[in-house]
Structure 1
Amino acid sequence: MEKPNILLGRIDNRLVHGQVGVSWTNYLGANLIIVADDEVAQNEIQQEIMEMVAMTSSADIRFFSIQDTIDLIWNAAPEQKIFIITKTPKEMRALIDNNVPIEQVNVGNMHFSEGKRQISQKVFVDDEDMENLHAMQEKGVRVYIQEIPGKLEEALK
């Protein structure tokens, strides 16, 4: 079984929007966006909105639950250049902990909510988020903060 061609994992609580669906997808040369999210996998309205954004980059888009992503990723065709997006570090870690071969994780946007602290301009975390991010690093995954392509990356602290 050939290893799937995963270009990047991104954590962004907005999932697919202009930055992801156009800027990042084109920058990476991705031709398939996988949204790994249990809620969105069941929500056709959210899927339709994200499909419209993905169409502007000519990439295909699929919506899978976390478990379906784990179960199906190894069926990817060699020509698929995959960009995986989750809302939270917990979801991305679940993929990595279950043998989804993601080598790099870009943290884009994690909005403020009660109990979260700011670690960069657009990233707010709590202790569980940091535990999950550091656990990915301990597995050898490169984890960094970068809002848009071309903007300087920030190391995860």
Structure 2
Amino acid sequence: MAKPNILLTRIDNRLIHGQVGVTWVNHLGANLVVVANDKVANDEIQQNLMDMVLPDVISARYFSLQKTIDVIHKANPRQKIFLVVKDVHDALALKEGGVPIDKINVGNMHYEEGKKQISSTVSVDENDIAAFKRLHELGVKLDLRRVPGEKGRDIMGLL
């Protein structure tokens, strides 16, 4: 099995939006954005809205977590993949399913009741912390930053 050319994996509960669709895609030189999320994989309206944000030269695929696990290794080496997931649990499921994720950009996890804010854009609860710790144990580098030009921080030091 060939190793897919995954440039970066990003956790962002907004999935594809301006920051992801323009800033990160251009910074990485990606030509394909893969959104791995069970709900979005079956929501054509949300997919169409996200497609509008991307430049015409960038393709997007919307896969369930299992389909991502099943097909990511079949990616053409010319595909420069920016993998986007909604939360840390989706990222962990992919990693444990065999997707070769070495580094995760933690970009945005909205505040909700019961979560503590660890940065201006990231809030976590105990389940999130456990998932981040498991990813760390699996050797994944966890880099918290909103945009490419910002200095990244190791999320483990904030938990």
TM over 0.5, yes or no? Answer: yes
TM bin, normalised by shorter chain, reads over 0.9
Q: Secondary structure at the match of 2:118?
A: strand
TM-score, normalised to structure 1, is 0.97
Q: Secondary structure at the match of 2:26?
A: helix
Deviations 1:100-152 (A, max 9, x none): 00111000010110100011111000011111111111111111100001011
The whole-number CA distance in structure 2 between the counterparts of 1:144 and 1:32 is: 21
For residues 73-92 of structure 1, what are the structure 2 equivalents within 5 Å? Answer: 73-92=72-91
Deviations 1:13-67 (A, max 9, x none): 00000000110011001111000011111111100011111235x2110000000
Runs of 4+ residues deviating >3 angstroms: none
- In the alignment, structure 1 residue 10 sits paired with structure 2 residue 10: yes
For residues 1-157 of structure 1, what are the structure 2 equivalents within 5 Å? Answer: 1-55=1-55, 58-156=57-155, 157=157
The whole-number CA distance in structure 2 between the counterparts of 1:59 and 1:26 is: 10
State the AA in 2 paired with 1:117. Answer: K
State the AA in 1 paired with 2:2. Answer: E
How many residue pairs match? The answer is 156
Unaligned runs of 5+ in 2: none
The whole-number CA distance in structure 2 between the counterparts of 1:55 and 1:47 is: 14
Unaligned runs of 5+ in 1: none
State the AA in 1 paired with 2:5. Answer: N
Identity of aligned residues (%): 51
The whole-number CA distance in structure 2 between the counterparts of 1:59 and 1:12 is: 19
Q: Secondary structure at the match of 1:120?
A: coil
Deviation of the 1:2 alpha carbon: 1.3
